[in-house]
Amino acid sequence: MFYTAKPMIQYSIKDLEQLTGIKAHTIRIWEKRYQLIEPERTSTNIRFYSDNDLKKLLNVSTLNRNGLKISSIVTMNNDEINERIMEISDTSHDSDNQIEQMIVAMIDLDEQRFERVLSTSVIKIGFDETVIKVLYPFFEKIGLLWQIGTIYPAQEHFVSNLIRQKLIIAIDGQSGNSKPASKTFLIFLPSNEWHELGLLFYSYLVKKAGFRVIYLGQSVPFEDLIEVSLKHRIDYLFTSVTTPLTLKKYSEYIHQLSLAFPDRSIFVSGYQTHEFKIDLPINVRLALNPTDFIDEIRTM
């Protein structure tokens, strides 16, 4: 069997702006004045950028936000940049710094760097705050990378496995936290949805809040949800939609859930909840971020 190499990843300047937070106008100025990055062109003369350009801009963003002028940064070699960034990560805590460096580590499949950034954050602000302020926004960025087609499955699997191990341990640590009379969350992903980490984040938060959880995980057929609900008392449903869908398919699935479980509250999270604005059924609520969701379940 013969395999062909995957085409080189190509980012537009708009992609770089979304992923780094640096305005496209600023990127163009740095490009012209300092030759910071050098875009290539397609056969139809459209400019595009590479993984190396993205990594460089993420590193520059970290250094610039921490007081270094761009004129100084451009004189530094890669080793000097990496050393300075590690110093910043070890001596201060800024969620944007951590997220940017985790993206760089993911692109390079650098486990040591990824673990160092993650461990430093947990030591400084604790596991819960790291989940809410670092890991969740990080995976929102990963969702964006999926939308624009600039992440290899191997890269997502790399970071997913590292973080999944830590989340499973944290979830296991909440065993026995629920009381016999606790209400139950059914937590699952729709059919053909495989992006599980966000779901694990929320499962951890639900268990920590003292609820009982039935966790079905990835790609659950709709009929299985019905079957579980017939055999077990379910008070709330929680799902997440990250994989690209059409507005029509997204809306149909939300309304299908609502009609199948009219007397249960349904929470929906994931990248598509930010992308699509639809009229929600009365029993469906969006979990747009962990902080708001925590506030909501505290009142239940």
CATH classification at residue 198: 3.40.50.280
For residues 122 and 246, membership in a common domain is answered with no
3 in a structural domain: no
pLDDT digits (tens, 9 = 90+) for 61-94: 888 888 889 888 988 888 888 888 877 777 767 7
Residue 4 forms part of a structural domain: no
User: Would you state the pLDDT for residue 3?
Assistant: 43
Asked if residue 27 lies in contact with residue 57, where contact means CB atoms within 8 angstroms, the answer is: yes
Q: What is the mean pLDDT of residues 248-258?
A: 94
Concatenate the DSSP letters of all residues of 164-189 into one string.
HHHHHHHHHTTTT-S-TT--EEEEEE
155 and 20: one domain?
A: yes
CB 201 within 8 A of CB 292: no
- Burial level of 59, CB count in 10 A (0-12/13-18/19+)? buried
Collapse the DSSP code of 268 into the 3-class scheme (helix H, G, I; strand E, B; otherwise coil) and give the result. Answer: strand
CA-CA distance, 179 to 167, in Å (whole number)?
22
Q: Are residues 196 and 241 in the same domain?
A: yes
Closest CA to 131 of 73, 182, 203, 74: 203
Domain final residue, candidates 169, 199, 225: 169
Say yes or no: 93 and 69 in one domain.
Answer: yes
Q: What is the pLDDT of residue 108?
A: 86
Among 126, 100, 125, which residue's Cα sits nearest to residue 113?
Answer: 100
- pLDDT at residue number 254: 95
Q: How confident is the model at residue 20 (pLDDT cuts 50, 70, 90)?
A: confident
